[in-house]
Homo-oligomer: A and B are copies of this chain.
Amino acid sequence: MLFGIATKKDDDWWIGVTNPDTPHLSKYESLMFQGNGYLGIRGSLEEHYLNEKRDMFVLGTFDKFKNEATELPNLPDIVNIEIMVNGKLLSLNHGETTNYQRGLNLHNGEIVRSFDWLNGKDKLHFEFRRFVSMDNCHLFVSEVKVTPLSDNVRLQIKSGIDGQQTNGGTQHFVEGTKRLFNARFVQMQTQTQNSLVKFALTEYHRLFLNATELTLNPRLQIERRQIFANYSIDVEKDQCLTFVKYANVFASNDQDLKDNVSMDCLCQLKHVGRESYQKLLEASSHVWEEKIWQDSFVEIASHNNKPQIAVNYARYQLFANAPCDYSKNIGAKGMTGEGYKGHAFWDTEIFMLPFFMLNIPSYAHNLLIYRYLNLIGAQKKARQGGYQGAQYPWEAAMPEDAESAPLWGSADIITGEPMKILSGSTEIHVTADVAFGVYQYIKNTGDYSFAKRMGYEIILQCAQFWASRVTWNSEINHFEITDVIGPDEYKEHANNNAFTNYMVHWCMRKGAEIITDLRQNDLITYSRLNKKFDMKKLVKELIEKSSMLYLPAPNENGIIAQDDNYLSYKKINVNKYRTSDNISEIFKDFDLKQLDKLQVTKQADVLLLLLLFEDELPKNIIKQNWDYYEPKTIHDSSLSFSTHAILANDIGLYDRAFDYFEKNCQIDLGTNMGSSVKGVHMAGLAGTWKIVIEGFGGIRAVKDGLRIQPHIPSTWKHLKFSLIWRGNKVDVLVTQTYFSVISDGKIKFIYHDHIYHVEPQERVLIEI
């Protein structure tokens, strides 16, 4: 596995760089993201570089600038620390840097950077550390140690709050108030332009010479949208100056804020600022250890630790970006960059949700409560289109927003005209995907309390939307779904996209089942929902429409047509696009209108359908469809590899499975230094975990319950992991010759159509 970032052979929890490599800074900024599900900060360096992209976000604080799509506004920067040594500004691009090492500790989210810097005659040792606290969601702490090695030096340190940041040139904030309190605390209060979310950012610095704290007030420097504290200190050779920056960030939509925001922040920071960096880090590490890693466990014994690092990295990013409360979701790039503007897609339900519900179901619970709140927006969107029920937005921001997808994209490469983005109006399968996610969650966790309070209603709202969206085609004597974009986004006006139709069919059928079941078994919930729907009428409509919905059946070769026309389109050789680093390479040869009429698939489409519906579709057609679609797929999406890897493993193409696993791990961690600059690919990272657990680990929630049917790569000695299945902690060990299962509660599982019962704490071992 080729990584574009350094790793250590003996450390499964470290990624980093061993030379400054400032030209690729923006990739490292994404990869070395720090967050806690509230606050997210890119791994920019403390000092400034030309191609840096400083981003800090607070989840759920969307703002819309004029005619642009709503997005997470990029907050004033608090990471900055500028250091002058005898009047010369520290920069890795000048002078001579040796012993450089910068790493992100995936286990506790701390970034550590150390190096020696020689500039002129002055040599100094620098050590930077920082973290975003998992223990206090508002807190960021940063520490610098500087030791002059050759002579006494004068150090000037400038650190503060820099509100000149933008989202790619867009400024969401008004020029705020900048204040100094108690001669030591600097604060900026500001507000988003349109959503009027208020923010307070406060910073406090402490300085130590060796072990002695200096009582030094800063010289204040105020510029436009900026407030800085300046310190000037003479440090003797071999003395160590420690500079600690404590910063907190509050937003007016926080639940733990009182009226006087500015004073609350100040109070908290005064309190926190009494503790040492180390102590605050320990509190944060403790949460990572106790509340996260102990509840999620994956161990891969392989000939090298790259697969282990990849899965650790994926889990780190997923947890660092998982909302700490239920009014927020996870953007396609989390908070790791400005890509996709912080919006949530079907990526959440189809790719990320499985990770959370099998590891820490409370996170999955939060994500689905968000979708319950999001019914407000989804109902709005359905009404706007003239439909019933709820139509989830393709891109979701605030729960009450109907659709947040941008309307216009780049100019057409050939005509030069701006292109309309149709996803928001046409990529409608997300409404089935959300329902599907809800049902998977209920099945995996057995959380019927959620089902009754919210889950069933979400599914019914979606089903009702679909019942109003399908149209009757008298020629084929079926309902059909026309003019959609399926997972293969190269086809912008597909009729009866197989993935969409099957998902919709499932959704309406499931809706009907739920109503029938509630009427029989839970009249309280039934009558509550009956106030929102005419349940009798709805169940009738759902049964009728689902039973008469056109579902493209496998043809004589076992192939399910991706849509009505796909199989009739021209075939081309796509090899050169599959091997290109530039995922949009194909657009140099074809524009979207041309791609619309070619048998070229952007990403897993029919194959994803076969993976999600392995229970319902004949297993023997998977290989045939793989052989048909896989060579036509150019994986111009990070959602594609994981599906291919898992399916390949399922059908015994083990080398291809591992190949796709590697490709998936390399989406962000690989050597393509342009791939993640606007943020990492959250669904791709979830895909890494899915390939390991659902693919190699063989974990699947099927109709009859938990299936465990593992097959690990030939280079792996074993794979060990834990998961939560309906409230039980289940530990699975897979080797080349056997696998074993232990559970803390009674469970059963299926292996090759055979049901195994597991008693609490009793190991069931099965030879493969």
Contact = CB atoms under 8 A, between A and B. Distances in A.
A168 B411 contact: no
Given A166-B171, A168-B225, A181 B416 contact: yes
A93 interface: yes
B66 A175 contact: yes
B411 A222 contact: yes
Interface string A221-237: 01111110000000000
B166 A223 contact: no
Question: Which of A67, A166, A227, A417: most chain B CB closer than 10 A?
Answer: A166
A49 interface: yes
Nearest to A23: B89
A165 interface: yes
A169 B168 contact: no
B67 A183 contact: no
B169 A224 contact: yes
A725 to B, nearest CB: 44
A349 B602 CA distance: 66
A164 B169 contact: yes
B171 A169 contact: yes
A220 B413 contact: yes
Interface in A386-427: 410-411, 413, 415-418
B170 A175 contact: yes
A193 B67 CA distance: 10
A659 B138 CA distance: 57
Interface string A177-190: 11111010000000
Contacts of A410: 178, 222
Nearest to A412: B180
A48 interface: yes
Contacts of A615: none
A174 interface: yes
A211 interface: no
A188 B415 CA distance: 16
A163 interface: yes
Contacts of A179: 411, 416-418
A416 B180 contact: yes
A68 interface: yes
A165 B169 contact: yes
Given A49-B50, A220-B413, A178 B418 contact: yes
Contacts of A67: 174-175
A220 B416 contact: yes
Contacts of A413: 220
A219 B250 CA distance: 44
B411 A225 contact: no
A223 B53 CA distance: 15
Contacts of A68: 174-175
Nearest to A409: B222
Contacts of A415: 180
Interface residues of A, number: 45
A225 B170 contact: yes
A177 to B, nearest CB: 6
Contacts of A193: 66
Q: Which of A68, A223, A411 has the most CB of B within 10 A?
A: A411
A181 B23 CA distance: 33
B171 A170 contact: yes
Nearest to A162: B169
A23 B227 CA distance: 22
A170 B224 CA distance: 9
A223 B418 contact: no
Interface string A86-102: 00010001100000000
Contacts of A94: 93
Contacts of A175: 65-68, 169-170
A274 to B, nearest CB: 21
B169 A166 contact: yes
Interface string A20-56: 0001000000000000000000000000111000000
Given A180-B416, A220-B413, A171 B174 contact: no
Contacts of A225: 168-170
Contacts of A170: 171, 175, 224-225
A168 B170 CA distance: 12
A52 to B, nearest CB: 9
Nearest to A69: B175
Contacts of A165: 169
Interface in A206-259: 219-220, 222-227
A265 to B, nearest CB: 15
A169, A223, A225, A417: most-surrounded residue (chain B CB, <10 A): A169
Interface string A145-178: 0000000000000000001111111110011011
Interface in A567-592: 588
Nearest to A178: B411
Contacts of A411: 178-180, 220, 222, 227
A341 to B, nearest CB: 10
B168 A164 contact: yes
A222 B413 CA distance: 10
Contacts of A183: 416
A95 to B, nearest CB: 12
A197 to B, nearest CB: 14
A94 B94 CA distance: 10
Contacts of A168: 164, 223-225
Contacts of A222: 410-411
A417 B180 CA distance: 7
Interface string A639-670: 00000000000000000000000000000000
A164 B164 contact: no
Contacts of A48: 50
Interface in A721-751: none
A168 B162 CA distance: 10
A169 B93 CA distance: 25
18 contacts: A23-B89, A65-B175, A67-B174, A165-B169, A166-B169, A169-B224, A169-B226, A170-B225, A178-B411, A178-B418, A179-B417, A179-B418, A180-B411, A180-B416, A219-B588, A220-B413, A222-B410, A222-B411
Given A169-B171, A220-B411, A220-B413, 14 more contacts: A65-B175, A66-B174, A68-B175, A93-B94, A164-B169, A167-B224, A168-B224, A168-B225, A169-B226, A179-B416, A179-B418, A180-B415, A180-B416, A227-B411
Interface of A: 23, 48-50, 65-68, 89, 93-94, 163-171, 174-175, 177-181, 183, 193, 219-220, 222-227, 410-411, 413, 415-418, 588
Q: What 10 pairs across the A-B complex have the smallest Cβ distances?
A: A180-B416, A164-B169, A168-B224, A171-B171, A169-B225, A222-B410, A66-B174, A50-B50, A68-B175, A67-B174
